[in-house]
């Protein structure tokens, strides 16, 4: 039996899939992640399972969709969101199988230390990117990189490990060290601090990758890199909580023993990460995802993935010329996404079909085009099968509404019960 590899999982928060050199970006400087990509599986069509921090991270560590793990909004003032909902992560299973487990950085699934970790240095969220140091302010990723480097040294022998380093940037408030930010000043880039943070993270990640590479002859290792969701830069509609490509697409790389580097075009999501970690450790897995190595090898066939979201529709009253928002209606959304096209269904709204190859800016709704109907029906069938397999009631309801429209040839948009929620 081959030796089980050490596993280093590096992740960022709210990083766009196209913010890296290997993905085609020509103004960032990401030589370390580009080097990792050159020797890794590059999942070109990777998506978040939910375009929001806590639900995406719950899916990342459980392999379950939000309607199954129960986290559908960001978590604050809860000790352990998953344990409180009767769910467990992949970490206890790896620890029970002999892996040392460590977590450094943003967690955003509760304020308390969760089960399954030998080393825990996580925090929930809403923390500053800068912390107090010896006589100066320190960029938080520098402190986290130092801590992770110490663990890599301490764990250089003995049982295999799974170490997660979860950086908070480039999440707002956009900020970065002066050394990287200076390169973007005066260039006309509309988001200089965001991309400066991407550059700065790359150099810190490079330090950890170099440490791991220096001992690969003695110990096999696997490296995963991802982000929890993307960034749209659309402040008026929110930079996430959106079904736009900027929010749902994420970078995803996997380098592991015996991996043949190359592009993988099959659609994948972060739900595939937990089964991959289990597979690398020689463990079985359950959930809604599949092992990325099986997907890359074509063993696990896949035509599309389903992304969940909850859209907040404002409810307002008007008195004369004054409009006052009094609450929101939360509308479930489902996206059936192939990487080249997507079908977006929202409760009480018209269907949306995007041909992403022909319309990457997502300006046109191809739903009503007669030539698009075969694609709509194929994506609808995928949603119906997915909803039945995962017991997704909202997905099944949206699919049934669209099926009724297609059978009639016309009619209202998919609809269902909605509960107004008044903001405090």
75-89: pLDDT as tens digits: 999 999 999 999 999
pTM for the predicted model, two decimal places: 0.93
- The pLDDT, as a whole number, for residue 325 is 66
pLDDT of residue 420: 34
CA distance 163 to 153: 12
pLDDT at 222: 97
Beta carbons within 8 Å of 271's beta carbon, 6+ residues apart? 49, 59, 60, 63, 64, 65, 287, 288, 289
Q: Quick one: tokens of 348?
A: 């009480």
- 350: which 2 tokens? 């018209």
Q: How far apart are CA 372 and CA 185, in angstroms?
A: 45
HSE at residue 308, side-chain half, CA atoms within 13 A, is 30
Average pLDDT over residues 221-244: 89
pLDDT band at 136 (very low <50, low <70, confident <90, very high): confident
Among the residue ranges 131-145, 206-220, 286-300, 351-365, the one predicted with the least confidence is 206-220
Evaluate if residue 241 carries a pLDDT over 60.
yes
d(CA 153, CA 176): 27
Which residues touch 79 (CB under 8 Å, ≥6 apart)? Answer: 110, 111, 112
Q: What are the two backbone dihedrals, phi and then psi, of residue 212, each rounded to the nearest 5 degrees?
A: -70, -40
Share of the chain above pLDDT 70, in %: 93
Residue 231 has pLDDT above 70, yes or no: yes
Q: What are the distances in angstroms from CA 155 to CA 99, 148, 150, 277, 305? A: 11, 10, 9, 18, 37
3-state secondary structure 75-107: CCCCCCHHHHCCCCCCHHHHHHCCCEEEEEEEC
SS3 41: strand
Q: How many H helices and E strands in the chain?
A: 13, 17
Strand ranges (E), 84-230: 100-106, 119-123, 130-132, 137-139, 161-166, 221-227
What is the predicted pLDDT for the residue at 328? 80
Whether 416 has a pLDDT exceeding 50, the answer reads no
Residue 234 has pLDDT above 90, yes or no: no
Contact 315, 330 (CB under 8 A): no
- Return d(Cα 282, Cα 284) in angstroms, integer: 7
In this prediction, residue 107 carries a pLDDT of: 98
Beta-bridge partner residues of 264: 43
Q: Which of 224, 222, 226 is nearest to 280 (CA)?
A: 222
Q: pLDDT at residue 304 above 80?
A: yes
Q: Hey, which residues does 308 pair with through a beta bridge?
A: 334
Are 411 and 404 in contact by the 8 Å Cβ rule? The answer is yes
Given a cut of 60, is residue 414 above it in pLDDT? Answer: no
Q: What is the per-residue pLDDT for 315?
A: 77
Is 229 within 8 Å of 250 (Cβ atoms)?
yes
Q: In the prediction, which pLDDT does 134 show?
A: 79
Q: Does residue 220 have a pLDDT over 50?
A: yes
Q: For Cα atoms 49, 50, 56, give the angle at the middle one, nearest 5 degrees.
A: 80
Encode pLDDT of 189-204 as tens digits. Answer: 999 999 999 999 999 9
Average pLDDT over residues 97-117: 98
pLDDT at 68 > cutoff 50:
yes
Strand partners, 226: 11, 252
The pLDDT of residue 418 is 40
pLDDT, mean of residues 253-282: 97
Label residue 44 by pLDDT band (50, 70, 90).
Answer: very high
Say how far residue 143 (Cα) sits from the centre of its chain: 24
Rg, the chain, Cα only:
22
**Which two three-digit tokens encode residue 77?**
């003032």
Taking residues 298-304, what's their average pLDDT?
Answer: 92
Helix H or strand E segment including 401 = helix 393-408
Burial class (CB in 10 A: 0-12, 13-18, 19+), 314: exposed
Q: What is the mean pLDDT of the chain?
A: 92
The per-residue pLDDT for range 384-402, each reduced to its tens digit, is 999 999 999 999 999 999 9
- Hey, which of 135-139, 246-250, 370-374, 409-413 has the most confident mean pLDDT? 246-250
Q: How far apart are the first and last CA of the chain?
A: 57
């Amino acid at each position: 039996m081959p030796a089980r590899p050490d596993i280093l999982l590096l992740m960022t928060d709210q990083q766009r899939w196209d913010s890296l050199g290997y993905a085609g970006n020509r103004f960032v400087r990401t030589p370390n992640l580009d080097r990792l990509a050159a020797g890794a599986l590059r999942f070109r069509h990777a998506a978040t399972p939910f375009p929001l921090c806590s639900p995406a991270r719950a899916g990342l560590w459980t392999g379950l969709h939000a309607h199954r793990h129960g986290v559908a909004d960001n978590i604050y003032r809860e000790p352990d969101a998953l344990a409180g909902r009767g769910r467990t992560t992949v970490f206890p299973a790896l620890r029970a199988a002999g892996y040392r487990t460590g977590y450094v950085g943003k967690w955003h699934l509760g304020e308390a230390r969760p089960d399954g970790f030998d080393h825990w240095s996580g925090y929930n969220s809403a923390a500053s990117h800068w912390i107090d140091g010896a006589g100066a302010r320190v960029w938080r990723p520098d402190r986290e990189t130092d801590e992770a480097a110490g663990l890599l040294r301490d764990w250089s022998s003995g049982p295999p490990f799974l170490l997660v380093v979860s950086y908070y940037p480039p999440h707002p408030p956009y900020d970065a060290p002066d050394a990287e930010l200076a390169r973007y000043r005066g260039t006309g880039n509309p988001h200089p601090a965001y991309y400066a943070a991407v550059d700065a993270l790359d150099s810190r990640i490079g330090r950890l990758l170099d440490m791991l590479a220096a001992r690969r002859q003695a110990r096999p290792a696997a490296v995963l890199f991802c982000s929890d969701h993307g960034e749209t830069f659309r402040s008026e509609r929110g930079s996430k909580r959106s079904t736009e490509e900027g929010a749902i697409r994420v970078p995803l790389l996997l380098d592991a023993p015996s991996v043949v580097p190359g592009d993988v075009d099959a659609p994948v999501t972060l739900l595939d990460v937990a089964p991959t970690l289990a597979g690398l450790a020689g463990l079985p897995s359950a959930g809604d995802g599949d092992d990325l190595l099986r997907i890359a090898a074509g063993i696990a066939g896949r035509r599309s993935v389903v992304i969940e979201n909850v859209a907040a529709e404002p409810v307002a009253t008007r008195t004369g010329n004054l409009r006052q928002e009094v609450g929101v209606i939360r509308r479930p959304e489902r996206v059936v996404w192939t990487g080249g096209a997507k079908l977006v269904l929202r409760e009480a709204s018209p269907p949306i079909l995007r041909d992403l190859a022909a319309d990457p800016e997502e300006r046109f709704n191809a739903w009503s085009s007669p030539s698009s109907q075969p694609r709509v029906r194929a994506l609808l069938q995928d949603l119906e099968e997915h909803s039945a397999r995962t017991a997704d009631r909202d997905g099944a309801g949206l699919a049934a509404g669209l099926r009724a429209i297609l059978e009639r040839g016309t009619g209202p948009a998919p609809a269902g019960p909605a509960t107004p929620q008044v903001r405090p």
